Amino acid sequence: MSSATAGENVDALASARIVDAAAAFGFMFDDQRPILARAEADLAKCLAAAPNHAWAHFGMGMVLCATNRALRCMEELEQALTIDPNFARARAFFGLAHVYVGRAEETEGHVVEALRLSPRDPLIHLWLMFAGFAKTLLGKWEEALLWLRKSIDANPNNPWSNFYLSACLAHLGRLVEARAAVRTGLAVNPKFSIKRLRAFGESDNAVFLAQRERMIEAMRMSGVPDE
């Protein structure tokens, strides 16, 4: 096999497993463990074949974060950023990873840097959501609203921003708007539930879990289904 073909195969395999990891982060599976186990095994093969493949490090970081290994995730993302300092998606996800180790206050700065690096990236709506999610966890409701509304403006079909928005609105006493946000989110992803949110094993960090619990209670007030 030529080196070009091998490189193309690594690119294709890494890209496919990044899609799987992203689906897990989207709460798309009742049981994401087999999907993530396959992704981790394949990304390990990619990195064995191409140790300096920034996208494979990025994908591995996503998988590690989704399987309660956020600190190792951050190490993988730092590797990706060392290889490619302008890797905006790795920078944004590095910001998100901070919430799972109880450092949500650091997320915004990394998102801002990602936006600077790639201001027209098609995933900007997710990066804006990362910042809004972090602000929601921190209880900075008004700031979270600004980020989440920008995320929704960038992509109205992203349900997660609406679910996080509902928690902010509920905490601010704006229950009619909160319930409307939930309806909008469920119209896009009717399978979303608090059970699925809790089942996603991204962290056992005590700070993060306490912050998430406060958000979940507000989501429940807004009408997010338990199951």
Q: Where are the domains of the chain?
A: 128-227
Residue 27 has pLDDT above 90, yes or no: no
Length of the chain: 227
Kindly report, residue by residue over 211-225, the tens digit of the pLDDT.
Answer: 999 999 999 999 999
Residue 1 has pLDDT above 60, yes or no: no
Residue 2 has pLDDT above 70, yes or no: no
Query: What is the share, in percent, of the chain residues with pLDDT greater than 70?
Result: 94
What is the pTM assigned to this prediction?
Answer: 0.91
Mean pLDDT of the 153-173 span: 96
Mean pLDDT of the 78-100 span: 98
The CATH class, in words, for 128-227 is mainly alpha
Residue 26 has pLDDT above 90, yes or no: no
* pLDDT, the chain, mean: 92
Mean pLDDT of the 53-76 span: 95
Per-residue confidence (pLDDT) for residue 201, from 0 to 100? 67
Per-residue confidence (pLDDT) for residue 9, from 0 to 100? 85
Kindly report, residue by residue over 181-207, the tens digit of the pLDDT.
Answer: 999 999 999 989 998 888 776 799 999
Kindly report, residue by residue over 36-49, the tens digit of the pLDDT.
Answer: 999 999 999 999 99
